[in-house]
């Protein structure tokens, strides 16, 4: 590794702002992963649901999880940019 | 003596057991001392039968101990019921009121993390007390709301208006406890870091949300108790919708409280918000038809609109409270969860899409 890159990495490690941003990204990724998992589980239960009313409710949940995940991805993108 | 010292911190049953232990030993010892010469003779006879040597005093002591315990059983067996009555009379169960704090004490005030957890637990109790008041305000029972029975069925069967003074119950079970929580927070924050103080303030705000929810329930109760027993079927149905929706919010909040770390709290809480928004929207759509078809009067429609607003605020406050109180994850992760939670405009947009599912599809295909 070049010295300049090494210095950059050390600086990032010692900078509290950088550390905070890294932790934020890590937590956000965790939440997005959790939402994706829940969305998949909901879609699976939607396939097996025979009642129309219950299926509509599950579909609403899927839409909500999807919207939250999309928002999370947008926040993550902004964090990466800054 | 060991049992008595051990029971000092035990609950009422533990203290009664220690009392029974003391009585058993004292009575048996008194009788044994009174008949000590006869007991010595019995020990010698039994030791002889068992082949224990005359000078083996350790074994003889063991035999004496067995006889002592056997004597105690024979003496105390007929006395069990009177002894139970005596102990229940002497060692009484300490009556705890709902407003009495269980977790706030001076010992944990100097330990920041413990103090925060104590405030969280106490605020959860505040929510439990408030949930009972809100459920009764809807003329429903909380255990039934939290059961697996369909809510429509529970609401349809609960046709008797529960008359109780919300203000009195609020003063008795909520106000006093909330006051103690606020006082504890004020005293605890001096030894805390800024982020810990923020956490305490968030818990204090959650308590305020609970109080607001009760106040809104009070406003709602006035018309609700009148209209859900009305002869007018249309207004009765509308108020039953409000009752079912609020009961559903309480049930879902309880589910959020019980759910494990794998589930997303923000997803569940947003789902409650969207449900209440949907109800408000549906009601507005039905309202004009109800008036136009003379199914309800104009004053009824105004009451209905106001009360739907109160119900909406009760839910909103409870969801805000749940966001602070029901998340077990650490503060940074909680912050990340909050950042994906949808705001009012985003929720509206999602509702719009749900209403017109084809429009989103069309947008995507364009």
Give the distance, in angstroms, between the CA of residue A48 and the centroid of all CA atoms in the same chain: 27
pLDDT at position B9 over 70: no
A25 touches A76 (CB < 8 A) = yes
In a domain, B96, yes or no: no
For residue A57, name the pLDDT band (cuts at 50, 70, 90). confident
Give the distance, in angstroms, between the CA of residue B138 and the centroid of all CA atoms in the same chain: 18
Most confident of B94-108, B122-136, B348-362: B122-136
pLDDT at position A38 over 60: yes
Among B56, B90, B124, give the residue marking a domain's end. B90
Q: Are the beta carbons of B339 and A63 separated by less than 8 Å?
A: no
pLDDT at position B362 over 80: no
Predicted complex ipTM exceeds 0.90? no
How many domains are there within chain A?
Answer: 1
pLDDT at position B360 over 60: no
Which A-chain residues 42-81 have CB contacts (< 8 A) with chain B? Answer: 60-61, 63-65, 67-69, 71-72, 75
Looking at the fold, whether B240 and B115 belong to one and the same domain comes out as yes
**pTM of the model as a whole:** 0.73
3 state DSSP class of B91: coil
Of B160-164, B245-249, B271-275, the range with the lowest mean pLDDT is B160-164
Among B35, B59, B90, give the residue marking a domain's end. B90
List the Cα angle B29/B31/B33 in 5-degree steps: 65
pLDDT at B191: 81
Looking at the fold, whether B81 and B117 belong to one and the same domain comes out as no
3 state DSSP class of A48: coil
If you measure CA to CA, which chain B residue comes closest to A28? B336
Tens digits of residue pLDDT in B45-73: 999 898 888 888 899 999 999 999 999 99
Closest partner residue to B274 (CB to CB) among A34, A35, A64 is: A64
pLDDT at B90: 87
Cα–Cα distance, B325 to B199 (Å, whole number): 10
Cα–Cα distance, B299 to B305 (Å, whole number): 10
How many domains are there within chain B?
Answer: 2
Distance (Å) from the C-alpha of residue B261 to the closest C-alpha of chain A? 10
For residue B96, name the pLDDT band (cuts at 50, 70, 90). confident
In a domain, B366, yes or no: no
For residue A9, name the pLDDT band (cuts at 50, 70, 90). confident
pLDDT at A21: 83
A59 lies in which domain range? 32-82
Looking at the fold, whether B113 and B199 belong to one and the same domain comes out as yes
Looking at the fold, whether B45 and B178 belong to one and the same domain comes out as no
Q: Are the beta carbons of A64 and B346 separated by less than 8 Å?
A: no
pLDDT at position A1 over 80: no
Q: Are the beta carbons of A69 and B337 separated by less than 8 Å?
A: no
The CA–CA distances, whole Å, from B7 to B20, B209, B212 equal 12, 40, 42
Looking at the fold, whether B10 and B142 belong to one and the same domain comes out as no
In a domain, B98, yes or no: no
Q: Mean of the per-residue pLDDT values for chain B?
A: 87
B40 lies in which domain range? 2-90
In a domain, A64, yes or no: yes
For residue B264, name the pLDDT band (cuts at 50, 70, 90). confident
Looking at the fold, whether B249 and B142 belong to one and the same domain comes out as yes
Among B57, B90, B123, give the residue marking a domain's end. B90
Looking at the fold, whether B114 and B234 belong to one and the same domain comes out as yes
Looking at the fold, whether B57 and B164 belong to one and the same domain comes out as no
Q: Which two tokens stand for residue B166?
A: 């919300």
Closest partner residue to A63 (CB to CB) among B263, B340, B350 is: B350
pLDDT at B352: 84
B324 touches B203 (CB < 8 A) = yes
Q: Are the beta carbons of A23 and B332 separated by less than 8 Å?
A: yes
pLDDT at B129: 93
pLDDT at B268: 86
Q: Are the beta carbons of B264 and A35 separated by less than 8 Å?
A: yes
In a domain, B97, yes or no: no
Tens digits of residue pLDDT in A67-82: 999 999 999 999 888 7
H or E element, residue B198: helix B194-227
Looking at the fold, whether B70 and B140 belong to one and the same domain comes out as no
Tens digits of residue pLDDT in B279-337: 888 888 898 889 889 899 988 999 999 999 999 999 999 999 998 888 766 777 888 88
pLDDT at B103: 87
3 state DSSP class of B345: helix
pLDDT at position B77 over 80: yes
In a domain, A81, yes or no: yes
Closest partner residue to B263 (CB to CB) among A30, A32, A38 is: A38
pLDDT at position B11 over 80: no
Q: What is the mean pLDDT of residues B251-262?
A: 86
Closest partner residue to A67 (CB to CB) among B262, B335, B350 is: B350
3 state DSSP class of B167: helix
Tens digits of residue pLDDT in B234-255: 999 999 999 999 999 999 999 9
Which chain A positions have a beta carbon within 8 Å of B274's beta carbon? 60, 64
Best of B244, B267, B278 to substitute, by most chain A Cβ atoms within 10 angstroms, is B267
pLDDT at position B358 over 70: no
If you measure CA to CA, which chain B residue comes closest to A71? B340
Looking at the fold, whether B251 and B339 belong to one and the same domain comes out as yes
B297 touches B287 (CB < 8 A) = no
3 state DSSP class of B165: coil
Q: Which residues contact B352 (CB under 8 A, 6 or more apart)?
A: B359
pLDDT at position B363 over 60: no
C-beta neighbour count of B284 within 10 angstroms: 11
In a domain, A5, yes or no: no
Q: Are the beta carbons of B264 and A34 separated by less than 8 Å?
A: yes
Q: What is the mean pLDDT of residues B127-135?
A: 94
């Amino acid at each position: 590794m070049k010295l300049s890159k090494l210095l950059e990495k050390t600086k990032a490690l010692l900078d509290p702002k950088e550390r905070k941003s890294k932790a934020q990204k890590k937590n956000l990724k965790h939440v997005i992963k959790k939402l994706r998992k829940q969305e998949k589980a909901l879609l699976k239960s939607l396939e097996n649901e025979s009642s129309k009313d219950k299926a509509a409710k599950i579909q609403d949940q899927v839409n909500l999880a999807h919207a939250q995940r999309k928002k999370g991805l947008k926040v993550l993108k902004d964090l990466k940019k800054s | 003596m060991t049992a008595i010292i051990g029971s000092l911190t035990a609950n009422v049953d533990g203290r009664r057991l220690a009392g029974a232990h003391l009585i058993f030993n004292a009575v048996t010892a008194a009788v044994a001392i009174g008949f000590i010469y006869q007991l010595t003779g019995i020990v010698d006879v039994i030791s002889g039968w068992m082949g224990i040597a005359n000078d083996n005093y350790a074994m003889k002591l063991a035999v004496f101990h067995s006889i002592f315990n056997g004597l105690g059983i024979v003496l105390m067996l007929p006395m069990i019921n009177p002894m139970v009555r005596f102990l229940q009379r002497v060692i009484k169960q300490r009556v705890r009121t709902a407003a009495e704090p269980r977790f706030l004490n001076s010992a944990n005030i100097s330990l920041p993390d413990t103090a925060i957890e104590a405030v969280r637990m106490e605020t959860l109790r505040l929510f439990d007390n408030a949930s009972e008041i809100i459920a009764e305000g809807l003329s429903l029972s909380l255990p039934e709301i939290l059961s697996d029975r369909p809510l429509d069925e529970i609401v349809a069967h609960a046709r008797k208006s529960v008359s109780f003074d919300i203000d009195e119950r609020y003063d008795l079970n909520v106000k006093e406890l909330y006051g103690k929580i606020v006082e504890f927070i004020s005293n605890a924050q001096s030894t805390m870091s800024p982020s810990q103080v923020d956490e305490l303030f968030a818990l204090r705000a959650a308590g305020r949300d609970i109080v607001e929810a009760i106040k809104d329930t009070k406003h709602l109760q006035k018309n609700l108790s009148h209209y859900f027993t009305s002869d007018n079927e249309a207004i009765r149905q509308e108020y039953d919708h409000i009752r079912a929706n609020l009961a559903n919010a309480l049930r879902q909040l309880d589910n959020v409280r019980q759910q494990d770390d794998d589930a997303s709290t923000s997803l569940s809480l947003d789902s409650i918000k969207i449900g209440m928004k949907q109800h408000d929207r549906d009601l507005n759509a039905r309202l004009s038809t109800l008036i136009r078809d003379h199914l309800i009067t104009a004053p009824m429609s105004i009451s209905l609109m106001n009360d739907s607003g109160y119900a909406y605020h009760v839910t909103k406050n409870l969801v805000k409270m749940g966001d602070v109180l029901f998340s077990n994850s650490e503060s940074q992760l909680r912050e990340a969860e909050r950042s994906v939670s949808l705001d009012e405009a985003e929720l509206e947009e999602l509702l719009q899409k749900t209403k017109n599912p084809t429009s989103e599809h069309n947008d995507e295909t364009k």
